[in-house]
Amino acid sequence: MIERLAPAKINLALAVVGRRPDGFHELVSVFMRVGLADRLSVEADTVPGEGDHLVVTGASGRIDGLDLVLHAAGLLRAHVGRPLPALRFSLQKRIPVGGGLGGGSSDAAAALDLAAGAWGLALGDEERLDLAARLGSDVPFFAARAAAALIEGRGERIRPLPPPHGAPAVLLVTSEQGLSTTEAFRALDASGVDFATSGTAAAYGLAAAIDAGLDAQAFAGWAGRLRDANDLWAPALRLRPELGARRDALEHALERPVLLSGSGPTLLALYPSLEAAEVGRDRLAGLRDQRGLRITPTPVGDAREDREAR
Ligand code: C5P
């Protein structure tokens, strides 16, 4: 059996700069990997077969996107074009589903690597990224195995960035009810936005600052500039009106700006250390209306998550 962690990501600035003819949107965003991760393992049958199988633990209800694991295996099988043993995947979910944390995309990138490992295939970088892009917009980031990156295009143009120095962290606040990315983009289009976005400057500015060497304290200090740099905030708020009051309550309790990750509904606060994020979590103990919320302090840009299939 081989196994690997599939980490979540956060978006620090998410500018939607245009709509493409194929219906997808042009983005400028800084993605950062965090410590919170799913765990995916695979075993190959001994004889060729096509009935790949997935068992999921740790998530309930209807789980959109989890078929991406099987889709990744099927895509690689078709790409190779010869009979290969059937695969049995086991996925332990920790990343909230539909949370704006890229869990399904990360699982898909991990599945590509695990399937290649189980079948003894050596994939070139370009080949892996190309397959990843066909699985979903966020999958190339995870397939690139970067701790952080400036993302452009639909998600396929990736400029890796070093993680911030030190050991910064985030406090993630996610509701059990996920939010569909497709719906969030649809709501953005319906609002008639002209894509003149302030998030672009924040994304490029943060990427430049990280390149120049950003320490954990300075990283946390970016929260004010990043707070309103996610263009999916307005559509997310339209779809989940409770996000407004929740963000207000979190900012009041945490005494710091709170950002939206991806299309939400995950909200997050930046901290210079995991200990500081844990203090933040403790401050939320008295928050009214925290039923149904998952509150998770986790390290940012954690390079230790970057593991080849073992
Ligand atoms: O690529 P992925 O399947 O993850 O995208 C989910 C949905 O998000 C797409 O169906 C599309 O509606 C929207 N999307 C977009 N532009 C992007 C990424 C995603 O419109 N760059």
Kindly report the pTM of this predicted structure. 0.94
* pLDDT at residue 66 tops 80: no
88-99 exposure pattern, b = at least 16 Cβ within 10 A, e = fewer = bbbbbbbbbbbb
- Amino acid 272: pLDDT: 97
Q: Look at ligand 1, atom 8, and give the residue with the nearest C-alpha.
A: 182
Reduced to 3 states, what is the DSSP secondary structure of residue 110?
helix
Q: ∠ at Cα 298 (297, 299), nearest 5°? A: 140
How many whole angstroms from 137 Cα to the centroid of ligand 1? Answer: 6
Q: Give, in order, the Cα–Cα distances in Å from 81 to each of 42, 76, 78, 260.
A: 20, 8, 5, 41
* CA 272/CA 2 separation, integer angstroms: 34
- Whether the per-residue pLDDT at 100 is higher than 50: the answer is yes
Residue predicted with more confidence, 308 or 113:
113
Distance from the Cα of residue 276 to its chain's centroid: 22
pLDDT at 307: 40
**304 CB neighbour count, 10 Å cutoff:** 10
Mean pLDDT, residues 123-137 taken together? 95
Residue 144 in 3-state DSSP?
coil
- Residue 287 pLDDT > 90: no
Q: Which residues are catalytically annotated?
A: 9, 138
- pLDDT band, very low/low/confident/very high, at 309 (cuts 50, 70, 90): very low
Rounded mean pLDDT, 265-294: 90
> What's residue 302's pLDDT?
63
Percent of the chain past pLDDT 90, that is, above it, reads: 82
Type of residue found at 185: F
Average pLDDT on 14-37 reads 95
Q: What local confidence, expressed as pLDDT, does residue 213 receive?
A: 92
Supply 74's token pair.
């099927």
Least confident of 27-36, 131-140, 192-201: 192-201
Average pLDDT over residues 87-98: 94
What atom in ligand 1 is closest to the CA of residue 186?
12
Tell me if 266 CB under 6 Å of ligand 1. Answer: no
Reply yes or no on whether the pLDDT at 303 is more than 50.
no
Whether the Cβ atoms of residue 147 and residue 34 lie closer than 8 Å to each other: no
Q: Kindly state if the Cβ of 191 falls inside 6 Å of ligand 1.
A: no
Q: CA–CA separation, 219 vs 209, rounded Å?
A: 9
Nearest CA, atom 7, ligand 1? 182
Whether the pLDDT of residue 293 is over 80: the answer is yes
Task: Tell me the percentage of the chain whose pLDDT exceeds 70.
Answer: 92
Q: Is 280 exposed, middle or buried (0-12, 13-18, 19+ CB in 10 A)?
A: buried
Question: Residue 283's beta-bridge partner residues?
Answer: none
The answer on pLDDT for 273 being more than 80 is: yes
Q: Does the pLDDT at position 2 exceed 50?
A: yes
| Ligand 1, atom 9, residue with closest C-alpha | 182
Q: What is the 57 CA–ligand 1 centroid distance (Å)?
A: 26
Whether residue 308 is predicted with pLDDT greater than 60 in this model: the reply is no
Please tell me if the CB atom of residue 155 comes closer than 6 angstroms to any atom of ligand 1: yes
What's the CA angle centered on 189, arms 186 and 260, to 5 degrees?
Answer: 70
Amino acid at 276: A
Closest residue by Cα to atom 12, ligand 1, is: 182
Average pLDDT over residues 68-93: 95
Measured in angstroms, how far is the CA atom of residue 181 from the centroid of ligand 1?
6
Secondary structure letter of residue 230 according to DSSP:
B
**148 touches 31 (CB < 8 A):** yes
Lowest model confidence (mean pLDDT) among 26-40, 249-263, 270-284, 293-307: 293-307
Instruction: Specify the residue with its C-alpha closest to ligand 1, atom 2.
Output: 136
User: Quick one: average pLDDT of 124-130?
Assistant: 94
Nearest one of 3, 9, 6 to 163, comparing CA atoms = 9
Residue 223 CA, ligand 1 centroid: distance in Å: 25
Ligand 1 pocket residue status of 182, Cβ below 6 Å: yes
Spatial distance between the Cα atoms of 95 and 208, rounded to a whole number of angstroms: 29
Burial of 199 (0-12, 13-18, 19+ CB in 10 A): buried
**Dist. CA 65 → ligand 1 center (Å):** 12
Helix axes 103-118, 125-135, angle to 10 degrees: 140
Residue 29 has pLDDT above 50, yes or no: yes
Alpha-carbon torsion, ordered 211, 216, 220, 226, to 10 deg: 20
* One-letter identity of residue 165: H
